Amino acid sequence: MRKMDDKFSRQKPRPTLKRRFVVFVFNLFLFGVIGVAGYVAVIYLRMPSLDAILHETRPAAVVFLDKDGDEIRSANRIMGVPVSVSSLPSHVWQAVVAIEDKRFFEHGPIDRRGLLRALFVNLFRRTFAAGGSTITQQTAKNIFLSRDKKLSRKVQELILSYWLENRFDKNQVLDLYLNRVSLVGGMRGIDAASRMMFQVPADKMSIAQAAQIAAMLKAPTTYSPLKNPEKNIARARIVLTEMVRQGYIDINQARAAAKKLAPATPAVDTNKYRYWTDFVMDEAQSRLGVFNSDLYIHTTMDRRLQEHVAAVLLRKTGENQGAVVAMSHDGAMRAMSGGVDYQSSQFNRVMAARQPGSAFKPVVYLVALENGMLPDSYVNDSPFAIGDYNPKNYNERYYGDITLATAFAKSVNSVPLKLTETYGIDSVLNMAGRLGVGTRLRREYSTVLGASEMSLLDLTNIYAVIWNDGESVHPYSITKITDVAGNVLYERNPSEPISVLSHDTVSHMTELLADVVATGGTGHRASAPGVLGGKTGTSNDNRDAWFVGATKNLVVGVWVGKDDFTPMSSKITGGTIPAEIFHDIVVNGK
């Protein structure tokens, strides 16, 4: 019995409640640490390559330049030109550091002091009035470009913050921040914001402008100098005060800068160029195929003429749609507007296939002139029919025996039909082919009166050949394409022009075109000093109205109509609104 008692007496005493609690807490802590470490490890393994994060992919940016080398607009430019602390005026990056993270150069990836201060402020005010996020943490967030509130995203942000500060020095981290921060309109980086807000690159910003950009960092929309200039200026004053406190600028510099704080000027509306740049982009892709690097496309645009064309078209078309293309006599396209308002419709009507009506008739008259007829040769204007096709003159009026020049100026229908009967429909189609448009025309008499559809660009090209002394014309919009380093990827190498029309034929044809804009001609409303001539065109039921004319420098084509092919007012013909649009363009757009 004693042995039994001794056995029980040698057993270890049961742990006390306190000891068991300590063991439980220790195990809980240990498993918690293991769990957190495992969670962090899983999140880390799910992260993309950290090097790949720094070298993000984006659509290739394209910068369009006008004929003088000035920027028209850019496409896909979501980021500005890369900047660095070493290349920027010091006040630019100092404004950012002063307001966003004044201890940036002293703390590590996380500012513990800043976090504690923010915690106390938020507890005292019972709101999230202050934040403790460092520039490094913000850089990590900007690189991820995620607004996700998930814990996993915050863990990734912390991992990336430590990785950034271990791989880069402070200036390099600040460079990343300045180039990646999102500020305005989906664009990123202070250079993009500076160009958008002040139309200057980041390295040209004044102290005042730098303060206004830095003011946006807290909340880009709320403190935008475009949308909320009062709030932006008020916060920019705080930025200037902080720059003084931290010794970046003195009080006199701050006062001078404060006087220059002002609402930002909106960037020039580039929608007036969009039909043009869309057209040029298609041309560039046809030259280069798919491209992955940023490009500079040097175009033939005359910016002043382009803006004038867009304004005239908007003013003159009323409830209708319209399109204009202007090119030099050799085919260099100077302006293009494919509609009244790009925002409401991006369809480029310069390339739309519509019936040119009487604007096609010069092709027939060129055949007659090549076969020996002269402007003063007599023809007979009387009813004409071939089979079931018996078109009538406008207002069903006939003039009897008249000269070729009169028939052309009055745009009668019977004469070009009779000329086609004399010289053959094939001769008309062949002439159209020589002028660059023959392959798309129907082999029928209605084509003579403009029933076969063609684009405004093709129609204008016909006239360009005439005013280019009868030499072939190939419209072009691009002179050169380069990459950002200046390497030439494409450069126009024009071929020798081909003589399409003889000198005599051209001379007689330009005489006929001049009569159209003279008193009594259908295009007299287009008449103005320097106008060489032109031709009107109106399709059946006034669905399309055209005018194509020229000055010594330009050939300009105009179309007015409705997108749904419904008739316009019977008062709208090629000799009314289109001729007036041409007149206003060449008179005030020189």
pLDDT per residue over 257-279, tens digit each? 999 999 988 766 668 899 999 99
Residue 61 belongs to some domain of the structure = no
Residue 191 belongs to some domain of the structure = yes
145 pLDDT band, cuts 50/70/90, is very low
- If asked whether residues 138 and 248 sit together in one domain, one would say yes
pLDDT exceeding 70 applies to what percent of the chain?
A: 81
- If asked whether residues 366 and 243 sit together in one domain, one would say no
Residue 579 belongs to some domain of the structure = no
Which residues fall within 8 angstroms of residue 314, CB to CB, at 6 or more apart?
340, 341
Distance of CA 501 to the CA centre of its chain: 39
449 conformational bin, left if phi > 0, alpha if psi -120 to 50, beta if neither: alpha
Choose one of 414, 434, 452: the last residue of a domain.
452
- If asked whether residues 94 and 231 sit together in one domain, one would say yes
pLDDT exceeding 90 applies to what percent of the chain?
A: 59
pLDDT per residue over 18-41, tens digit each? 666 565 566 555 555 555 455 445
Q: Write out the residue range of the structural domain in which residue 427 sits.
A: 357-452
Per-residue pLDDT at 167 exceeds 90 = no
- If asked whether residues 378 and 234 sit together in one domain, one would say no
Cβ 272 vs Cβ 310: under 8 Å: yes
pLDDT at 534: 97
Which residues fall within 8 angstroms of residue 35, CB to CB, at 6 or more apart?
none
C-alpha closest to that of 114 among 126, 102, 125, 127: 102
Per-residue pLDDT at 46 exceeds 80 = no
Count of domains observed in the chain: 2
pLDDT per residue over 393-433, tens digit each? 877 889 999 999 999 999 999 999 999 999 999 999 999 99
544 pLDDT band, cuts 50/70/90, is very high
- If asked whether residues 253 and 142 sit together in one domain, one would say yes
Cβ 73 vs Cβ 64: under 8 Å: yes
Please report, as a single letter, which amino acid is at residue 362.
Answer: P
pLDDT at 389: 87
Collapsing DSSP to helix, strand or coil, 403 comes out as strand
Residue 222 belongs to some domain of the structure = yes
CB atoms under 10 Å from CB of 539, counted, come to: 24
Residue 225 belongs to some domain of the structure = yes
111 pLDDT band, cuts 50/70/90, is low
Per-residue pLDDT at 583 exceeds 70 = yes
Residue 215 belongs to some domain of the structure = yes
The CATH code of the domain that includes 232 is: 1.10.3810.10
Q: Which tokens is 411 given?
A: 């745009």
Q: Which tokens is 194 given?
A: 């500076």
Residue 206 belongs to some domain of the structure = yes
Per-residue pLDDT at 4 exceeds 70 = no
- If asked whether residues 92 and 228 sit together in one domain, one would say yes
Choose one of 452, 479, 514: the last residue of a domain.
452
Residue matched to tokens 């105009």: 558
Choose one of 412, 429, 452: the last residue of a domain.
452
Residue 254 belongs to some domain of the structure = yes
The CATH code of the domain that includes 446 is: 3.40.710.10
